[in-house]
């Protein structure tokens, strides 16, 4: 949660514009009635004229001049009033109500049916988050794990829009965009950068390379849909969606460890996918850190920087905020030439704490109903997690496949050959076969 305090009303517009240009917007504005233009609503109107997307929620902070306020006229300009004579619990109740924190998430309404989007992203967690957000709006989504693969796909397919990550192995987003722009038939292809950094210099680099726009990571559904709509001119509204999955209750949590409300909301209300991604993030990164710390002297600063960068994005996308900050610290120190084992141990402690405090929520939810087998998408997600374990030569792969093999058989997916390869430690061969099964499941979807 980003909180800023502005002492002079004349600075509000410049602050809001700066945030918007950086790919972010304030969700809530609390305006003191002591500030000029608040009581008569002119300051609210001034902000609304900026046409920020999404439009912020306005609360009036009323102090000793409460008796001079016309509350009826206030309803024209404000979504709620905070009376400083009330105690903190009433204030929190007001904020909770206007933000709908205890309520249910509403997706923006948009229809991208038939739209073909290329998602260029090397991080599995980030891929799943973006796909989960987009699937509610029914586009056709292809994945490219780096810029070189993206370039090949653009040459052989007709895409309506490209979502391009910046930092990737083999070929980064800037280079890929420059190469795409050399293709005469793709000079006008909309390319939207997805960047964890919203510094003016990086945004300018995106535009200079030939990108059309940018959105900030972690991705927010409203910003993503607004950006796509901006470049493909699809109709979009903020009306209530008919999709029953668009509204879900969400649990409270220790938000510094894991902000479950924000994370599930970022996925458009897809709670099962959210917990699956949290589990994948914990399983793969706890395993990797344990192995690293057992051979700490062998860790290079380049490996530490890449690990920090990757986990920073993954953790932010599931709203594991403390972990994301630690990963960012690891990345920064590695850039300065220091592979900080102390930060790694802190990251490991945080991940164990998340597992201890939160993963029972998903387990309890699953245990309340009998298991009737996987859907095609659920099995694909499980196999993608297996693929990660195999790529890391993780011995947990054997236990993992034994847990899903029977359910896969009921879907006419035979994993016996893969199981045999893993038993014989033929992880490369098993990984190739898993890739083929995932492709088959994609076709079924």
Listing DSSP states for 323-391 in one string gives: HHHHHHHHHHHHHTT---HHHHHHHHHHHHHHHHHHHHHHHHHHHTS------HHHHHHHHHHHHHHHH
113/91 same-domain check: no
255 within a domain of the structure (yes/no): no
154 within a domain of the structure (yes/no): yes
Boundary residue ending a domain (66, 99, 132): 99
- The mean pLDDT value for 43-63 works out to 78
For residue 160, is pLDDT > 90?
A: yes
| Average model confidence (pLDDT) across the chain | 78
Boundary residue ending a domain (99, 130, 155): 99
What pLDDT, on the 0 to 100 scale, is given for residue 154?
96
DSSP string, 68-86: G--HHHHTTT-SEEEETTS
What pLDDT, on the 0 to 100 scale, is given for residue 209?
93
pLDDT in tens, 70-114: 656 666 777 777 777 666 656 666 776 666 544 444 556 688 888
356/277 same-domain check: yes
291/353 same-domain check: yes
44/115 same-domain check: no
What pLDDT, on the 0 to 100 scale, is given for residue 373?
62
What pLDDT, on the 0 to 100 scale, is given for residue 370?
43
90/152 same-domain check: no
47/123 same-domain check: no
**Secondary structure of residue 200 in the 3-state scheme:** helix
264/230 same-domain check: no
What pLDDT, on the 0 to 100 scale, is given for residue 411?
86
Residue 350 lies in domain:
260-360
91/162 same-domain check: no
342/437 same-domain check: no
Boundary residue ending a domain (99, 125, 148): 99
- The mean pLDDT value for 404-414 works out to 85
What pLDDT, on the 0 to 100 scale, is given for residue 244?
35
pLDDT band, residue 239 (cuts 50/70/90): very low
Q: What CATH number is given to the structural domain containing 168?
A: 3.40.50.2300
Q: How many domains does the chain have?
A: 4
What pLDDT, on the 0 to 100 scale, is given for residue 107?
58
What pLDDT, on the 0 to 100 scale, is given for residue 82?
77
248 within a domain of the structure (yes/no): no
What pLDDT, on the 0 to 100 scale, is given for residue 14?
73
3 within a domain of the structure (yes/no): no
- The mean pLDDT value for 207-223 works out to 86
231 within a domain of the structure (yes/no): yes
What pLDDT, on the 0 to 100 scale, is given for residue 161?
96
174/199 same-domain check: yes
224 within a domain of the structure (yes/no): yes
95 within a domain of the structure (yes/no): yes
208 within a domain of the structure (yes/no): yes
What pLDDT, on the 0 to 100 scale, is given for residue 369?
43
pLDDT in tens, 164-175: 999 888 899 999
Distance, in Å, from the CA atom of 130 to the CA atom of 124, rounded to the nearest integer, reads: 10
264/326 same-domain check: yes
pLDDT in tens, 337-362: 998 899 999 999 999 988 887 766 55
What pLDDT, on the 0 to 100 scale, is given for residue 236?
38
Give the list of residues 6+ apart from residue 362 with CB closer than 8 angstroms, or none: 275, 278, 279
Query: Dihedral, CA atoms, 97, 100, 103, 106, nearest 10 degrees?
Result: 150
pLDDT in tens, 179-201: 999 998 999 999 999 987 666 77
The DSSP bridge pattern shows strands 109-110 and 236-237 to be antiparallel
Distance, in Å, from the CA atom of 55 to the CA atom of 48, rounded to the nearest integer, reads: 7
Look at 123-132, 193-202, 410-419 and tell me which has the smallest mean pLDDT. 193-202
Among all chains, which residue has been given the structure tokens 């504005």? 29
Look at 36-50, 335-349, 410-424 and tell me which has the smallest mean pLDDT. 36-50
Measured from the Cβ of residue 4, the count of other Cβ atoms closer than 10 Å reads: 9
352/393 same-domain check: no
């Amino acid at each position: 949660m980003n909180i800023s305090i502005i002492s002079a009303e004349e600075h509000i517009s410049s602050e809001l514009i700066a945030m918007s240009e950086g790919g972010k917007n304030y969700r809530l504005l609390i305006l003191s009635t002591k500030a000029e233009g608040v009581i008569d609503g002119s300051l609210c109107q001034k902000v609304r004229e900026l046409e920020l997307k999404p439009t912020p929620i306005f609360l009036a902070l009323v102090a000793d001049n409460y008796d001079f306020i016309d509350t009826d006229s206030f309803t024209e300009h404000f979504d709620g009033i905070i009376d400083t004579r009330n105690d903190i619990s009433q204030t929190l109740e007001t904020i909770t109500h206007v933000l709908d924190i205890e309520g249910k998430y509403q997706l923006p309404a948009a229809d991208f049916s038939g739209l073909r989007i290329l998602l260029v992203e090397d991080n599995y967690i980030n891929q799943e988050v973006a796909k989960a957000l987009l699937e509610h709006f029914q586009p056709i989504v292809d994945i490219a794990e780096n810029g070189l693969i993206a370039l090949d796909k653009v040459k052989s397919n007709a895409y309506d829009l490209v979502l391009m990550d910046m930092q990737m192995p083999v070929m980064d987003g800037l280079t890929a965009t420059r190469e795409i722009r050399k293709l005469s038939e793709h000079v006008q292809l909309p390319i939207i950068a997805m960047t964890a950094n919203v510094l003016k210099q990086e945004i300018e680099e995106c535009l200079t390379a030939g990108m059309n726009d940018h959105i900030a990571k972690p991705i927010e559904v409203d910003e993503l849909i607004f950006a796509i709509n901006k470049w493909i001119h699809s109709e979009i509204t903020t009306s209530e969606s008919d999709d029953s999955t668009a509204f879900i209750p969400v649990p409270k949590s220790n938000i510094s460890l894991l902000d479950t409300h924000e994370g599930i909301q970022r996925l458009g209300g897809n709670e099962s996918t959210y917990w699956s991604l949290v589990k994948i993030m914990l399983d793969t990164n706890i395993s990797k850190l344990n192995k690293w710390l057992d051979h700490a002297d062998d860790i290079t600063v380049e490996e530490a920087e890449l690990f920090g960068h990757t986990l920073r994005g993954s953790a932010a996308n599931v709203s594991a905020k403390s972990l994301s900050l630690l990963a960012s610290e690891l990345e920064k120190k590695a850039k300065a030439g220091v592979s900080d084992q102390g930060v790694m141990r802190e990251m490991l402690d945080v991940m164990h704490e998340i597992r201890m405090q939160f993963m029972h929520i998903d387990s309890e939810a699953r245990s309340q109903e009998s298991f009737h087998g996987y859907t095609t998408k659920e099995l694909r997600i499980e196999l993608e997690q297996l693929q990660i374990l195999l790529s890391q030569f993780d011995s947990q792969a054997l236990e993992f496949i034994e847990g899903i093999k029977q359910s896969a058989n009921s879907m006419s997916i035979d994993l016996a050959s893969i199981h045999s390869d893993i038993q014989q430690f033929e992880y490369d061969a098993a990984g190739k076969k898993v890739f083929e099964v995932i492709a088959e499941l994609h076709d079924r979807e």
